Amino acid sequence: MGLIDIDALRATPLKTDPYDYLVVPGFVSGEALTQVIADFPDIQSTGSIPPSELDIHGRFDALLEEMKGPAFQKAIEEKFGLDLTGRPTMFTVRGHCARNNGKIHTDTESKIITVLLYLNEEWEAGGGRLRVLRSGTDLNDAAEEVSPNGGTLLVFRRSDNSWHGHEPFEGQRRAIQMNWVRDEAVVEHEQRRHRFTAFLKKLNPFGGARAAAREAM
Protein backbone atom coordinates (compact mmCIF):
# COMPACT_ATOMS: atom_id res chain seq x y z
CA MET A 1 0.00 0.00 0.00
CA GLY A 2 1.31 3.43 -0.95
CA LEU A 3 1.91 6.45 1.23
CA ILE A 4 -0.31 8.85 -0.72
CA ASP A 5 -4.07 8.61 -1.22
CA ILE A 6 -4.58 8.92 -4.98
CA ASP A 7 -8.24 7.92 -4.65
CA ALA A 8 -8.88 10.85 -2.29
CA LEU A 9 -7.21 13.18 -4.80
CA ARG A 10 -9.37 11.86 -7.64
CA ALA A 11 -12.52 12.28 -5.52
CA THR A 12 -11.76 15.91 -4.61
CA PRO A 13 -13.54 18.50 -6.78
CA LEU A 14 -11.46 21.17 -8.49
CA LYS A 15 -12.33 24.66 -7.25
CA THR A 16 -12.15 27.53 -9.73
CA ASP A 17 -12.74 30.60 -7.55
CA PRO A 18 -10.53 32.65 -7.53
CA TYR A 19 -8.30 30.29 -9.57
CA ASP A 20 -7.96 26.56 -10.16
CA TYR A 21 -7.00 24.71 -6.97
CA LEU A 22 -7.90 21.80 -4.72
CA VAL A 23 -7.27 20.78 -1.12
CA VAL A 24 -7.04 17.15 0.02
CA PRO A 25 -6.96 16.66 3.81
CA GLY A 26 -5.18 13.48 4.90
CA PHE A 27 -3.43 12.89 1.57
CA VAL A 28 -0.82 11.26 3.77
CA SER A 29 -2.37 9.96 6.97
CA GLY A 30 -2.26 7.47 9.82
CA GLU A 31 0.82 5.32 10.18
CA ALA A 32 2.17 6.55 6.85
CA LEU A 33 2.19 10.14 8.12
CA THR A 34 3.89 9.09 11.36
CA GLN A 35 6.59 7.22 9.43
CA VAL A 36 7.21 10.05 6.97
CA ILE A 37 7.50 12.63 9.75
CA ALA A 38 9.92 10.33 11.61
CA ASP A 39 12.15 10.26 8.50
CA PHE A 40 11.76 13.96 7.67
CA PRO A 41 15.24 15.41 7.05
CA ASP A 42 16.93 17.27 9.88
CA ILE A 43 16.57 20.91 8.82
CA GLN A 44 17.94 23.54 11.17
CA SER A 45 17.35 26.63 9.06
CA THR A 46 14.55 28.53 7.37
CA GLY A 47 14.01 28.68 3.63
CA SER A 48 13.34 26.13 0.91
CA ILE A 49 16.07 23.53 0.36
CA PRO A 50 16.56 21.16 -2.61
CA PRO A 51 16.53 17.46 -1.66
CA SER A 52 20.07 17.17 -3.04
CA GLU A 53 21.25 19.28 -0.09
CA LEU A 54 19.56 17.08 2.52
CA ASP A 55 19.82 13.60 4.00
CA ILE A 56 16.85 11.98 2.26
CA HIS A 57 16.12 8.45 3.43
CA GLY A 58 13.51 5.93 4.53
CA ARG A 59 9.80 6.68 4.18
CA PHE A 60 10.42 10.32 3.32
CA ASP A 61 12.44 9.20 0.29
CA ALA A 62 9.64 6.76 -0.60
CA LEU A 63 7.12 9.62 -0.41
CA LEU A 64 9.10 11.73 -2.88
CA GLU A 65 9.31 8.77 -5.25
CA GLU A 66 5.53 8.29 -5.15
CA MET A 67 5.00 11.97 -5.88
CA LYS A 68 7.29 11.63 -8.90
CA GLY A 69 5.36 8.60 -10.11
CA PRO A 70 2.94 8.26 -13.05
CA ALA A 71 -0.19 7.73 -10.92
CA PHE A 72 0.17 11.08 -9.18
CA GLN A 73 0.95 12.88 -12.45
CA LYS A 74 -2.04 11.31 -14.19
CA ALA A 75 -4.39 12.36 -11.38
CA ILE A 76 -3.11 15.95 -11.58
CA GLU A 77 -3.45 15.98 -15.36
CA GLU A 78 -7.05 14.77 -15.10
CA LYS A 79 -7.99 17.33 -12.46
CA PHE A 80 -6.49 20.33 -14.22
CA GLY A 81 -7.07 19.26 -17.84
CA LEU A 82 -3.36 19.30 -18.64
CA ASP A 83 -0.83 17.19 -20.50
CA LEU A 84 2.34 17.25 -18.42
CA THR A 85 4.25 14.85 -20.65
CA GLY A 86 7.82 16.03 -20.96
CA ARG A 87 7.41 18.68 -18.26
CA PRO A 88 10.09 18.27 -15.60
CA THR A 89 9.40 18.34 -11.88
CA MET A 90 11.21 20.24 -9.17
CA PHE A 91 11.17 19.67 -5.40
CA THR A 92 12.12 21.79 -2.40
CA VAL A 93 11.68 21.02 1.29
CA ARG A 94 11.06 23.36 4.21
CA GLY A 95 11.47 22.59 7.90
CA HIS A 96 11.16 26.03 9.50
CA CYS A 97 9.36 29.26 8.73
CA ALA A 98 10.78 32.75 9.31
CA ARG A 99 8.53 35.53 10.50
CA ASN A 100 8.99 37.47 7.26
CA ASN A 101 7.94 34.54 5.04
CA GLY A 102 4.46 34.32 3.57
CA LYS A 103 4.26 37.58 1.62
CA ILE A 104 1.53 37.59 -1.04
CA HIS A 105 2.70 36.38 -4.46
CA THR A 106 1.60 34.24 -7.43
CA ASP A 107 4.70 32.04 -8.05
CA THR A 108 6.96 32.56 -11.06
CA GLU A 109 5.67 32.25 -14.63
CA SER A 110 8.01 29.31 -15.24
CA LYS A 111 5.84 27.12 -12.98
CA ILE A 112 2.79 25.31 -14.38
CA ILE A 113 1.43 23.49 -11.31
CA THR A 114 2.38 24.02 -7.67
CA VAL A 115 1.95 21.15 -5.18
CA LEU A 116 2.26 21.76 -1.44
CA LEU A 117 2.22 18.83 0.97
CA TYR A 118 2.21 19.67 4.67
CA LEU A 119 3.77 17.23 7.12
CA ASN A 120 2.95 18.59 10.57
CA GLU A 121 1.01 16.39 12.99
CA GLU A 122 -1.04 19.22 14.50
CA TRP A 123 -1.34 22.95 13.89
CA GLU A 124 -2.70 25.22 16.58
CA ALA A 125 -0.93 28.46 15.63
CA GLY A 126 -2.98 31.22 14.05
CA GLY A 127 -0.22 32.15 11.60
CA GLY A 128 1.30 29.96 8.90
CA ARG A 129 -2.04 28.90 7.41
CA LEU A 130 -1.84 29.41 3.65
CA ARG A 131 -4.62 31.54 2.20
CA VAL A 132 -5.98 31.23 -1.32
CA LEU A 133 -6.46 34.91 -2.12
CA ARG A 134 -8.65 36.93 -4.45
CA SER A 135 -6.15 39.78 -4.81
CA GLY A 136 -2.50 40.63 -4.40
CA THR A 137 -3.15 43.38 -1.89
CA ASP A 138 -5.43 42.00 0.83
CA LEU A 139 -4.42 39.00 2.94
CA ASN A 140 -7.90 38.95 4.47
CA ASP A 141 -9.68 38.59 1.11
CA ALA A 142 -9.36 34.81 1.09
CA ALA A 143 -11.42 32.14 -0.62
CA GLU A 144 -9.97 29.50 1.69
CA GLU A 145 -7.42 29.10 4.46
CA VAL A 146 -5.43 25.86 4.53
CA SER A 147 -3.98 24.61 7.81
CA PRO A 148 -0.56 22.98 7.25
CA ASN A 149 -1.24 19.86 9.27
CA GLY A 150 -1.99 16.19 8.99
CA GLY A 151 -0.63 15.43 5.51
CA THR A 152 -2.85 18.04 3.84
CA LEU A 153 -2.30 18.51 0.10
CA LEU A 154 -2.83 21.81 -1.73
CA VAL A 155 -2.45 21.96 -5.51
CA PHE A 156 -3.03 24.98 -7.74
CA ARG A 157 -2.54 26.05 -11.32
CA ARG A 158 -0.09 28.93 -11.50
CA SER A 159 -1.59 32.02 -13.17
CA ASP A 160 -1.33 35.79 -13.08
CA ASN A 161 -3.94 35.81 -10.30
CA SER A 162 -2.89 32.74 -8.28
CA TRP A 163 -2.31 34.94 -5.23
CA HIS A 164 -1.47 33.24 -1.95
CA GLY A 165 0.24 34.04 1.34
CA HIS A 166 -0.10 33.58 5.06
CA GLU A 167 -0.05 35.43 8.36
CA PRO A 168 3.37 35.58 10.04
CA PHE A 169 4.62 32.50 11.81
CA GLU A 170 8.05 31.65 13.20
CA GLY A 171 9.06 28.11 14.03
CA GLN A 172 8.90 24.54 12.76
CA ARG A 173 6.62 24.15 9.76
CA ARG A 174 7.32 21.10 7.59
CA ALA A 175 6.34 21.12 3.93
CA ILE A 176 7.27 19.73 0.54
CA GLN A 177 6.85 21.89 -2.56
CA MET A 178 6.70 20.18 -5.93
CA ASN A 179 6.33 21.98 -9.25
CA TRP A 180 5.83 20.97 -12.81
CA VAL A 181 7.78 23.56 -14.79
CA ARG A 182 8.32 24.58 -18.41
CA ASP A 183 11.71 22.95 -19.04
CA GLU A 184 14.93 21.68 -17.50
CA ALA A 185 16.54 25.13 -17.66
CA VAL A 186 14.01 26.29 -15.06
CA VAL A 187 14.93 23.38 -12.76
CA GLU A 188 18.65 24.12 -13.08
CA HIS A 189 18.18 27.83 -12.40
CA GLU A 190 15.84 27.37 -9.44
CA GLN A 191 17.90 24.61 -7.85
CA ARG A 192 21.05 26.75 -8.10
CA ARG A 193 19.19 29.63 -6.46
CA HIS A 194 17.85 27.46 -3.65
CA ARG A 195 21.27 25.86 -3.07
CA PHE A 196 22.85 29.30 -2.75
CA THR A 197 20.13 30.43 -0.33
CA ALA A 198 20.58 27.20 1.66
CA PHE A 199 24.31 27.92 1.90
CA LEU A 200 23.61 31.40 3.26
CA LYS A 201 21.16 29.91 5.75
CA LYS A 202 23.86 27.55 7.05
CA LEU A 203 25.94 30.62 7.85
CA ASN A 204 22.97 32.35 9.52
CA PRO A 205 20.21 29.74 10.04
CA PHE A 206 17.42 32.05 11.14
CA GLY A 207 18.52 35.28 9.52
CA GLY A 208 15.40 35.56 7.36
CA ALA A 209 17.30 36.31 4.14
CA ARG A 210 15.56 38.75 1.85
CA ALA A 211 15.70 36.22 -1.00
CA ALA A 212 13.34 33.95 0.93
CA ALA A 213 10.98 36.56 2.29
CA ARG A 214 8.23 35.93 -0.27
CA GLU A 215 8.14 32.17 0.16
CA ALA A 216 4.70 30.98 1.20
CA MET A 217 4.74 27.20 1.11
Whole-number pLDDT of residue 211: 45
Q: How far is CA 181 from CA 76, 129, 216, in A?
A: 14, 25, 18
Whole-number pLDDT of residue 198: 59
CA–CA gap between residue 28 and residue 34 (Å, rounded):
9
pLDDT digits 0-9 by tens, 32-50:
999 999 999 999 889 899 9
User: What is the layout of strands, in order, in the sheet containing 153-157?
Assistant: 21-24, 153-157, 111-118, 171-181, 89-97
CA–CA gap between residue 41 and residue 61 (Å, rounded):
10
- Residues 6+ away with beta carbon under 8 Å from 17: 143
Instruction: Point out the residues of the chain with pLDDT beneath 50.
Output: 208-212
Whole-number pLDDT of residue 210: 46
- pTM of the predicted model as reported, rounded to 2 decimal places: 0.89
73-81 contacts at long range (C-beta below 8 A, 24 or more positions apart)? 75/6, 75/9, 75/10, 76/9, 76/113, 76/115, 76/155, 76/180, 78/10, 79/9, 79/10, 79/12, 79/14, 79/22, 79/155, 80/14, 80/20, 80/113, 80/155, 80/157
User: Are 147 and 110 contacting, i.e. CB atoms less than 8 angstroms apart?
Assistant: no
